[in-house]
Amino acid sequence: MLNYKIILMGSGGVGKSALTQRFISGNFVEAYDPTIEDCYQKTININDETCKLEILDTAGTEQFSSMRDVYIKSGDAFVIVYSINSTSTFNDISSIIEQINSIKDSDPAPIIIVGNKSDLDDEREVDEELGQTLAKSTHSSFIEASAKLNSNVNEIFYDLLRQLANKRKSMQPPRNSFSPKSSVVYPRDPSPKQNYQKSPQNVHNDSNGIKKKSLCDKCTKSCTII
């Protein structure tokens, strides 16, 4: 089972808790209750893999911004939320992404920018094109969603899981990779080869011309006289 920690960040009141609750339980909470820190867990199957998600819904108020470093260091992927009917919440996005990229410099983490409350299109202050442009410039994903209408909520988390899967695969060595075998050099025989030569054979003739055996000059053995 794969385990991932996903962190939701953004200004207060943009709907981070509403998105999380909708994804976890399918319910929509209308009332706004400022979050300090809430943690949820959910197990899902995607691409024939079982993933256990730990989702951390963080505080959006300025007084808890000092905790961001801690959240970022512990996260595997990030959901950065703004509200389409609030330009100020959109303007807060860039600094959060810069902070994530700075801390995760050696191990880049997937990020998705979410323009929440797409159901309030008649109150829109942030055009969708602005969100797309910011995402492109920060190498992030982008989507508009509505926790109230349950629009694109699941897609937020599935997008991050696909990015995490691609990241994991890119870090694995190819199946056919191999290290070349080092050539083996056998040491030469240090002892010099001996040249074997036949000892000269002495020919001895007696007075009657008969060949006889005699001792070689170079050895003490009896040699056959030829």
What pTM did the predictor assign? 0.74
Q: How does pLDDT run across 131-180, given as a tens digit for each residue?
A: 999 999 999 999 999 999 999 999 999 999 999 999 988 887 766 655 55
Model confidence at 225, pLDDT cuts 50, 70, 90, reads very low
User: For the stretch 83-108, what's the b/e string if a residue is b when 16 or more beta carbons lie within 10 angstroms of its beta carbon?
Assistant: bbbbeebbebbeebbebbbebbeeee
Residue 160 lies in a domain: yes
Residue 210: inside a domain: no
Domain annotation covers residue 179: no
Q: Does 213 map to a domain?
A: no
Q: Flag whether 47 is in a domain.
A: yes
Burial class (CB in 10 A: 0-12, 13-18, 19+), 7: buried
Query: For residue 133, what is the domain's CATH number?
Result: 3.40.50.300
| Domain tally, the chain | 1
pLDDT in tens, 44-60: 988 888 999 999 999 87
Question: What range defines the domain where residue 30 resides?
Answer: 2-170
Which residues are within 8 A (CB) of 115 and not within 5 positions of it... i.e. 6 or more apart?
A: 82, 83, 84, 90, 126, 128, 131, 142, 143, 144, 145
Q: How many CA atoms lie within 13 A of 37 on its CB side?
A: 10
Residue 203 lies in a domain: no
The structure tokens listed for 98 are 């810069």
Residue 131 falls inside a structural domain? yes
Handedness of CA 7, 71, 126, 12 (dihedral sign): positive
